[in-house]
Structure 1
Amino acid sequence: MDQKIFINKAEASGIIALDLLDYKPTTEIVELDIKDHLFMGMIVKEKEFKESLAAVDFSVYNEKAVGIICSTDAIIPPWALMMLMEKLSPYAVYVDLNSAETILLDLWKRRLMYADLKCYKNQKVVVRAKADHDPALYLVAAGLLKPLVKTLMYGEIGLPKVIFKS
């Protein structure tokens, strides 16, 4: 009887997958609404602002990334942000004047930019497609991989879209 040997063509192709999810930050990201420290939720009054900050236990932000937002149309002077940073700096690992979603993307791109991608040198690489990933991540990945790889692709190993071949 004939024995049929099945060959996994995807495996035999020599394509290596890069999954952007591997570079997603694990740091917890929280938002701090500065509105909660404003007089009537709208006005920065120095004395009241300082008293409000003094009443906060900033240790709750320990080892977290903090996005400072203002959910009202208040004008926040730079010195108020500096005071807030002074309180957060002993605890938070990252602070920015942005939403949690924007901070996640910034940290994710940063992790990707500082990743050791030497293992992809002269390889055929496919960046795995995920609909829920921000397109900016693919832009960063392409920029980092192009000087290294022999072939850059998008999608899945079995059916990639060729982006670049050297």
Structure 2
Amino acid sequence: MTEEIFINKAKASGIIALDLSDYKPTTEIVELDIKDHLFMGMIVKEKEFKESIAAVDYSVYDEKAVGIICSTDAIIPPWAYMMIMEKLSPYASYVDLNNAETILLDLWKRRLIYADLKQYRNQKVVVRANTNYDPSLYLLAAGLLKPLVKTLMYGEIGLPKVIFKQ
């Protein structure tokens, strides 16, 4: 009887997969709404604002990324943000004037930018497809990988879409 040998063509292709989920931040992201510290939820009155933010237990933001938002249409002077940052800085790992979704994307991009990608040098690389990820992550990945890789692809190892080939 003849023994059949199966060859894994995907493995034999030499394609390496880059999964963007490997760079997704694990830091918890929370939002701090300034509205809660405004007079009538709309007006920054300096004395009341200072008292209100002084009464907050900022330790709840320890090692978290904090998105500062204002859910009302109030005009917030820059010094108010500075005062909040002064209170958060001993605790929060990251603070920005954005919602949680935008901060997640910013941190994710930052992790990609600072990632050590030299293992992909002169390789055939496929960036794994995930329709739930923001397209800007794929844009960034392409920009970072193009100078390094021999071939850049999108999708899955078994059926990639070729983006660039040297």
Query: Which residue in 1 is equivalent to 2:42?
Result: 42
Query: Which residue in 1 is equivalent to 2:72?
Result: 72
Query: Which residue in 1 is equivalent to 2:84?
Result: 84
1:163 is paired with a residue whose SS is strand
Taking the aligned partners of 2:162 and 2:109, their CA distance within structure 1 comes to 23
Q: What amino acid maps onto 1:84 in structure 2?
A: I
Moved over 3 A (4+): none
Taking the aligned partners of 1:143 and 1:92, their CA distance within structure 2 comes to 30
Taking the aligned partners of 2:109 and 2:150, their CA distance within structure 1 comes to 23
1:115 is paired with a residue whose SS is coil
Taking the aligned partners of 2:53 and 2:119, their CA distance within structure 1 comes to 47
Query: Which residue in 1 is equivalent to 2:16?
Result: 16
1:66 is paired with a residue whose SS is strand
Query: Which residue in 2 is equivalent to 1:154?
Result: 154
Offset from partner CA, 1:78-122 (integer Å, 9 cap, x none): 000000000001110110000000000000000000000000000
Taking the aligned partners of 1:53 and 1:72, their CA distance within structure 2 comes to 17
1:110 is paired with a residue whose SS is helix
Query: Which residue in 1 is equivalent to 2:116?
Result: 116
Unaligned runs of 5+ in 2: none
Shift of 1:2: 1.3
Alpha-carbon RMSD across the aligned residues, in angstroms, is 0.4
Q: What amino acid maps onto 1:82 in structure 2?
A: M
Query: Which residue in 2 is equivalent to 1:125?
Result: 125
Query: Which residue in 1 is equivalent to 2:107?
Result: 107
2:48 is paired with a residue whose SS is helix
User: What is the identity percentage for the equivalent residue pairs of Structure 1 and Structure 2?
Assistant: 87
Q: What amino acid maps onto 2:70 in structure 1?
A: C
Taking the aligned partners of 1:34 and 1:132, their CA distance within structure 2 comes to 30
Query: Which residue in 2 is equivalent to 1:141?
Result: 141
Output the TM-score relative to the length of structure 2.
0.99
Unaligned runs of 5+ in 1: none
Shift of 1:143: 0.3
Q: What amino acid maps onto 1:68 in structure 2?
A: I
What count of residue pairs does the alignment treat as equivalent?
166
Taking the aligned partners of 1:107 and 1:148, their CA distance within structure 2 comes to 23
